Amino acid sequence: MNKQSKIRYDLNEAIQYILEPGSESELSDLELSSDEEDDNNPFLVTRINDEISICEEEQCMTADILLEDEINIEFTTPDKPNTNEKTSSSTLPKPITHNYKWCNKRPPIRDTTFSGCEFSLPPNNVDTFTPLIYFQMFWKDTLFTLLAEQTNLCSVQISSKSVNVTETELKQFIAIQMYMSIFKLPAYYMYWSTETRYPKIADLMSLSRYKKIREFLHAADNSRLNDPVNKHNKIYKIAPVLDHVRQNCLSIEPETGHSIDEQIIPAKTRYSGIRQYNPKKPVKWGFKNFVRSGISGIIYDFFLYTGAAAIGSEKCNGSYVVKRLLESLPKNKNFKLCFDNWFCSLDLCLHLNKLGILTTATIRNDRMQGCCLPTESEMRKKGRGSHAYKCDINSGIIITRWYDNKCVNLCSTYCDPDSISDVKRWNRTEKNFVNINCPLVVKEYNQCMGGVDLCDMLISLYRTNIKTKRWYIKILFHCIDICKVNGWLIYRRHCNQLNIAKKKQLTLLQFTTQIASSLSYAEKPLVAVGKQSKRKLCKDVTPQKRKNSIPLPNKDIQLDCLNHWPEHREKKLNCRLCKVGNSRIFCKKCNICLC
């Protein structure tokens, strides 16, 4: 076969060749008649306009251009809109964004005086408040009623037989779990075993009864799990407890400084659909709980993370979390708020600035909206403690870059960038502490940001842990820990208002022990708890009642009672001394207790 020789054209000759009617170019085969264009092919060939403006670069080109390499064919669809295709997001009008203009000028000084209400004084009867009362500020008795009803209902649904648990038994069950968080053993049955028996738990409830309550403990009706309202609610089984505790936390008087961060509830239980894994965290497996906390560690608001898709069209990103947790916080009162770089964006800071909330946060390099600051290598040359800042003229937002061991970027809406103080850092070369410069925004961030971490530390000291495959039970006892820690922190607030020395205040350990003790010695249920438990309750619980009411019988009286015991024993009356529901240990004729 003879090879076809290629003809080279310059640019003008190539355009004329293509546009010439009846030419032998490849485009001539694509031309359609008017009938074919209407009936068969909906596409139209776009012709190149004769008046083509050639740029200066193309005019300077001296090399020849191949025809098949340089000519592009363009097709356009008819003007009729296609209803099957969705409108692309690029054609939609974009929202108007803020125009950031960065400069080195100092922003105007802003009034940061807190205009909210101060803490109210403690009640007049605060001297009579026990740790249990502080605990019940967040965990009401109505929640015990709900748990008792749902636990009995769950036992009927599963085993067709009610476990008949009462509110008093549930209080004792929670008291047992609190004792277990303080006195830890490898397995829960060891608290009842002979070798490792712990009387405050074993005398309170039998092991079989503890297992029954533990097995059927529930907070929501399983029969309504597939209702249209609850079908997409991943936390339906624990939602009543979360809502109850959250509403009680919202009723606390807020302090000036707040922080927002994530809190991990340790759990490895499967089949929850909301469990998270983060290898960089100290607690790698668990449920993510977003929390708004104060500087003191009190939790004011929280919600459980159930996935990236939030309720509605907005995704559960950092801005959504901050806006949701601030819905209950009063606006235009100059509350101070801190959060880390996962939540922070300049648009969010602008939004909070309009709400009258003072913001300080760390920010990532790719979210600085064109704010150019010295690089880390340049800051390193200036030395440790060097800083630089820029201010947005239109909004007053300040971005500060400070070099300590590494560079850190901080964004603030109220901190003076020129206010500098000293902090101590360890110098490796000189082997002593030296003072370096530190901007005010760094101190503000460090002061307000540690609230959630403080609460996590307090909860982890005596965490009410329970080994179970049911994921919602883990969250249930985490809510109990929140109520316990919040109650202790409110107690500390009252003590500080009354100028009570810290040495005389209860520690968290004493506070937890007294809550468990108060829940334990609630009204005793009429259930069989074993002979050894009866003797222990009679000796340890009410020794004063025994001395004041009826004297203890001697051995001779006890032997005489054995003769007429079958005739005069009381069958319905409980023992007046030890309040145990067993009639065989009380002699009606002698009016004595043979416990």
- What pLDDT band is residue 4 in, cutting at 50, 70 and 90? low
Which residues have CB under 8 Å from 398's CB, separation 6+?
A: 107, 389, 390, 391, 392, 411, 412, 413, 415, 417, 441
Closest CA to 144 of 249, 239, 241, 215: 241
Tens digit of each residue's pLDDT (9 = 90 or more) over 439-462: 999 999 999 998 999 999 999 999
Is 0.75 surpassed by the pTM of this model? no
CA atoms of 334 and 60, how far apart (whole Å): 65
- The number of beta carbons lying within 10 Å of the beta carbon of residue 210 is 22
Closest CA to 395 of 365, 360, 351: 351
CA atoms of 368 and 61, how far apart (whole Å): 43
- What pLDDT band is residue 67 in, cutting at 50, 70 and 90? very low
pLDDT at 271: 82
Sign of the CA dihedral running 295, 443, 396, 339: negative
Residue with tokens 């708890």: 529
Tens digit of each residue's pLDDT (9 = 90 or more) over 555-589: 444 445 555 444 444 444 444 444 444 444 556 55
- The number of beta carbons lying within 10 Å of the beta carbon of residue 470 is 17
CA atoms of 44 and 77, how far apart (whole Å): 7
pLDDT at 231: 83
Tens digit of each residue's pLDDT (9 = 90 or more) over 477-527: 999 999 999 999 999 999 999 999 999 999 999 999 999 999 998 754 333
Closest CA to 459 of 257, 284, 264, 243: 264
Tens digit of each residue's pLDDT (9 = 90 or more) over 185-209: 999 999 999 999 999 999 999 999 9
Share of the chain above pLDDT 70, in %: 71
pLDDT at 81: 41
DSSP reduced 3-state for 325: helix
The gap between the terminal CA atoms of the chain, to the nearest Å, is 120
Share of the chain above pLDDT 90, in %: 53
CA atoms of 555 and 438, how far apart (whole Å): 80
pLDDT at 282: 87
Closest CA to 175 of 126, 137, 129, 213: 213
